[in-house]
């Protein structure tokens, strides 16, 4: 198997990600309007910029790291059936709805795993110019500032970030399952870009993030940051995350809070609440 010089990889990817960020910023001033279409639902959007940034990044990876597999959102990557070897995850624009509606609060997210273990993470909040990055074992950073170990926190003091999938009536989950969690915590936020939300938990701006349905390119980089600062990441019921599962739930927090929330959700399961995950729904 090829050996990778991770420091060189970090330098290269940091340049690509910033170049991609410049392309996106320039597109706001372009005379041609953004082409926007919807995918699985009216609020699941894709634009020509999502595709062109993914193409740009995938081409850079293929040229510099030939033979390595890529899992990416918009179809320019591969469909590997194993995590063996080096595996890249690319989300060219995470937070497309924010990109389209707000022109802010979206990120480019890239992760590199080796034999299923997170090795390198890059999350670039383009408009805030906040670059979260990490080589496993060498510390996680926001720009040049090293992130501190995740703080333990109890629910009463916690800032939670949760997507609206928890609250909308649907066949996957009882929308009241989290009512008492929300009523107990310090505050809730919903930023709408999973990679940034995960980076914010790693940076201590939020204490937990949980969602019912994410794909590997949404969370692969964020999980590396979370692990680097000592956080815990599982499915919402505490089961481990599988990088090759198309869609999964996710609960990320420091150890104490993670335990508190998973216990709560387990109790709800015991009470007969429906918290089936999408991958277990027929």
Which spans of this chain sit near ligand 2AM (rule: CB under 6 A)? 40, 44, 73, 91, 94-96, 163, 192-194, 213-215, 218
Measured from the CB of residue 64, what is the shortest distance to Ca ion in angstroms? 22
User: Residue 222 binds which entry of Ca ion, ligand 2AM, none, with Cβ cut-offs from 5 to 8 Å by kind?
Assistant: none
Measured from the CB of residue 40, what is the shortest distance to Ca ion in angstroms? 9
Residue number with CB closer to ligand 2AM (216 or 254): 216
Return the structure tokens found at 51. 């595709």
Measured from the CB of residue 113, what is the shortest distance to ligand 2AM in angstroms? 19
135: three-class secondary structure by DSSP: strand
Nearest residue to 189 (alpha-carbon basis) of 180, 201, 177: 201
User: Residue 40 binds which entry of Ca ion, ligand 2AM, none, with Cβ cut-offs from 5 to 8 Å by kind?
Assistant: ligand 2AM
Nearest residue to 124 (alpha-carbon basis) of 135, 112, 134, 109: 109
User: Residue 277 binds which entry of ligand 2AM, Ca ion, none, with Cβ cut-offs from 5 to 8 Å by kind?
Assistant: none
SS3 track for 66-107: CCCEEEECCCCCCCCCCCCCEEEEEEEEECHHHHHHHCCCCE
Residue number with CB closer to ligand 2AM (131 or 219): 219
| Residues in contact with Ca ion by the rule CB under 5 A | 73, 91, 93-94, 218
Measured from the CB of residue 166, what is the shortest distance to ligand 2AM in angstroms? 11
All residues at 6 or more sequence positions from 174 whose CB lies less than 8 Å from its CB, including other chains:
268, 273, 274, 275
All residues at 6 or more sequence positions from 137 whose CB lies less than 8 Å from its CB, including other chains:
228
- Provide the residue count of the chain: 282
38: three-class secondary structure by DSSP: strand
Measured from the CB of residue 7, what is the shortest distance to ligand 2AM in angstroms? 28
Residue number with CB closer to ligand 2AM (153 or 162): 162
User: Residue 193 binds which entry of Ca ion, ligand 2AM, none, with Cβ cut-offs from 5 to 8 Å by kind?
Assistant: ligand 2AM
Measured from the CB of residue 218, what is the shortest distance to ligand 2AM in angstroms? 5
Residue number with CB closer to Ca ion (47 or 262): 47
Cβ distance 178 to 268 under 8 Å?
A: no
């Amino acid at each position: 198997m090829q050996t990778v010089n991770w420091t060189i990889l970090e330098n290269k990817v940091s340049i690509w990600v910033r170049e991609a960020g410049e392309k996106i910023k320039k597109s706001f001033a372009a005379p041609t309007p953004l082409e926007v279409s919807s995918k699985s639902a009216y609020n699941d959007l894709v634009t020509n910029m999502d595709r062109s940034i993914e193409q740009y990044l995938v081409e850079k990876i293929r040229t510099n790291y030939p033979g390595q597999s890529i899992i990416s959102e918009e179809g320019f990557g591969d469909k590997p059936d194993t995590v063996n070897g080096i595996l890249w995850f690319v989300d060219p624009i995470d937070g497309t709805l924010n990109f389209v509606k707000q022109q802010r609060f979206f990120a480019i997210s890239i992760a590199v795993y080796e034999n299923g273990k997170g090795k390198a993470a890059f999350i670039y909040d383009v408009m805030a110019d906040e670059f979260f990055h990490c080589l496993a074992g060498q510390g996680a950073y926001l720009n040049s500032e090293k992130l501190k170990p995740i703080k333990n926190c109890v629910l009463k003091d916690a800032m939670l970030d949760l997507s609206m999938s928890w609250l909308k009536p649907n066949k996957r989950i009882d929308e009241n399952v989290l009512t008492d969690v929300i009523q107990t915590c310090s505050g809730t936020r919903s930023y709408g870009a999973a990679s940034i939300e995960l980076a914010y938990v790693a940076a201590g701006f939020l204490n937990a993030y949980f969602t019912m349905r994410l794909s590997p390119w949404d969370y692969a980089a964020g999980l590396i940051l979370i692990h680097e600062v000592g956080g815990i990441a599982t499915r919402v019921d505490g089961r481990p995350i599988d990088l090759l599962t198309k869609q999964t739930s996710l609960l990320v927090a420091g150890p104490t809070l993670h335990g508190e929330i998973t216990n709560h959700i387990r109790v709800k399961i015991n009470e007969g609440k429906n918290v089936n995950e999408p991958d277990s729904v027929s």
